Structure 1
Amino acid sequence: MIDSHAHLYLEEFDEDREAVIERARAAGIETIINIGIDVETSSQAIGMARGEDGFFASAGIHPQSPVADPQAALAAIRELIETNPEETVAVGEIGLDYYWDTVPPEAQSAILQPQLDLALELGLPVIFHCREAISTLLELLEARDSVPPGVFHCFEGGPLEAERGLALDFHISFAGNVTYKNAERLQQAAGTVPLDRLLLETDSPYLPPHPHRGKRNEPAYTTLTCDFLAVLMNLSPREVDEAATENTRRLFRLTE
């Protein structure tokens, strides 16, 4: 099983990071992709990928990460990717986030577009973060002449948004919030996603699945989201796991 989206470099794991990794291994999580949200954390994610078997990283600028000098930040992201090609498997997380207001929408779009171009240039997939901006992000992507392959991480839309994302050949990833009682629309969307486009993630330390809601999330809990989706899709957990693992390996071109 693969946790396709985590942030184990964050301070929430400073006191027991190795124990968290051991629990993930014990739960059958063979691979973890740590996702950068700015230059510093992208570097940290890459550092973990160098030091831990089964770890990979992405590098990118999150839509709510303030950037004083966009050109310098983009150049730094490019350098991280180009100097760490074995560890860095995607550009991300990038996208739009209208829930928070640290970075205005215009600035978010201005940092997103060149990262899409960078991914196309380097032949890498992208990892989309999108919060309360799914229609705007889809419109932006639909208006482009070309888009890199990628995944909507922690998908927040409904069936119609999922259909539009799938029409652009993107994958869709579900985190622990799909297990919540009030996530009916998200669960409906999950039921429409073809098995060959599905990814699993935790977004650790955020969004733990039921029954751990309100606590710190960790990669071992990927199994709970897998089990929930299996019931939702009328499949076995093994079928969901095997499909999501194969999809993740193919999308990010992961080595064994």
Structure 2
Amino acid sequence: MRRRRTLTVAAIDSHAHLYFDRFDEDRDQVINRAKEAGFTGVINIGIDVETSSKVIDLAKKYPGFCHAAVGLHPTHSNLDEEDLMQTLATLESFCIENKNEVVAFGEIGLDYYWKDVPPEIQDRAFRKQLELARKLDLPVVIHCRDAWSDTLEVISEAGHGLTGVFHCFGGKVEEARRALDLGWYLSFAGNVTYPKAEELREAAQVVPSDRLLLETDSPFLAPQQVRGKRNEPAFALHTAEILAKVRKEGLNQLIETTTANSRKLFRLSEI
């Protein structure tokens, strides 16, 4: 990536899924490319018990660079009460036994785009995981898709004492302001670069500098410049360039800000 030569500060990808099998053939190279592009950390996000175990394994394999978040994604939450409680107990044990690796709880939330899991089932899992995150004193990674009103309502009711980030923010200015009013961070991914994402770019402009994060959601949502390719952390610089442009900031300034915010939210030591 030619653009990475202009980067003089450290970057962090606050949300990725590098455990996907699409990275099995070249995971080391992907991580090396991220480092060469100026990245000093990636937060890998679990979506169920199996993948939560995998993100911990990645954090142990790449210590100081990969970090882990564990949780039950709303589209994986269609469990009866007994299975849900067993799943949460397992996730809790992951957090307790791997304190050096686990830096957040998530991704959790509500997803009404996919119709496989009834909203009331998602709501139950969401609320219980917020309780668990509070117990574990971990920041939360929120997944919200086509469910803004209900997600914000749950956080208002059950999120007291918690903080975290709305990952891959996909709302409008109104939703951004409501999430910010609750004290949460907003993270932007490659979809903010898409030609038709004007409302998303407008939302990015209202986020205070101390609440903004950068992510890829790899292997998904590659930025417009590399759209159609498998996404990877190094590509986040394309997203950062667009964010810097719409926010009228320098690229290095934006990277420095989002990195500082990631370190603060996830309580990362200086890398």
Number of the residue aligned with 1:7: 17
Question: Which of 114, 139, 149 pairs up with 2:153?
Answer: 139
Number of the residue aligned with 1:160: 174
* Unaligned residue ranges in structure 2 (runs of 5+): 1-10
| Partners of 1:85 and 1:57 in 2: CA distance | 10
Secondary structure of the structure 1 residue equivalent to 2:54 = helix
| Partners of 1:145 and 1:51 in 2: CA distance | 33
Question: Which of 14, 17, 23 pairs up with 2:33?
Answer: 23
Number of the residue aligned with 1:75: 89
Report 1:189-200 matches (<5 A): 189-200=203-214
Question: Which of 78, 96, 99 pairs up with 1:85?
Answer: 99
Farther-moved stretch of structure 1 (14-23 vs 79-88): 14-23
Number of the residue aligned with 1:65: 76
Farther-moved stretch of structure 1 (233-242 vs 67-76): 67-76
Number of the residue aligned with 1:241: 255
Instruction: Give the RMSD, CA atoms, in angstroms.
Output: 1.0
Number of the residue aligned with 2:8: none
| Partners of 2:157 and 2:182 in 1: CA distance | 11
Number of the residue aligned with 1:116: 130
Please state how far the C-alpha of 1:143 moved relative to its aligned partner.
2.6
Number of the residue aligned with 2:110: 96
| Partners of 2:163 and 2:106 in 1: CA distance | 12
State whether residues 155 and 172 of structure 1, in contact with CA within 8 Å, keep that contact through their aligned partners in structure 2. Answer: yes
Report 1:24-63 matches (<5 A): 24-53=34-63, 54-63=65-74
State whether residues 202 and 217 of structure 1, in contact with CA within 8 Å, keep that contact through their aligned partners in structure 2. Answer: yes
* Unaligned residue ranges in structure 1 (runs of 5+): none
TM-score by length of 1: 0.98
Please state how far the C-alpha of 1:146 moved relative to its aligned partner.
1.2
Structure 1 vs Structure 2: percent identity of aligned residues? 51
| Partners of 1:144 and 1:60 in 2: CA distance | 17
Residue type at the aligned position of 1:196: D
Post-superposition, which runs of at least 4 consecutive aligned residues in structure 1 deviate over 3 A? Answer: none
Please state how far the C-alpha of 1:147 moved relative to its aligned partner.
4.5
| Partners of 1:23 and 1:38 in 2: CA distance | 28
Number of the residue aligned with 1:128: 142
Secondary structure of the structure 2 residue equivalent to 1:234 = coil
| Number of aligned residue pairs | 256
Please state how far the C-alpha of 1:19 moved relative to its aligned partner.
1.1
| Partners of 1:85 and 1:67 in 2: CA distance | 28
| Partners of 2:161 and 2:90 in 1: CA distance | 22
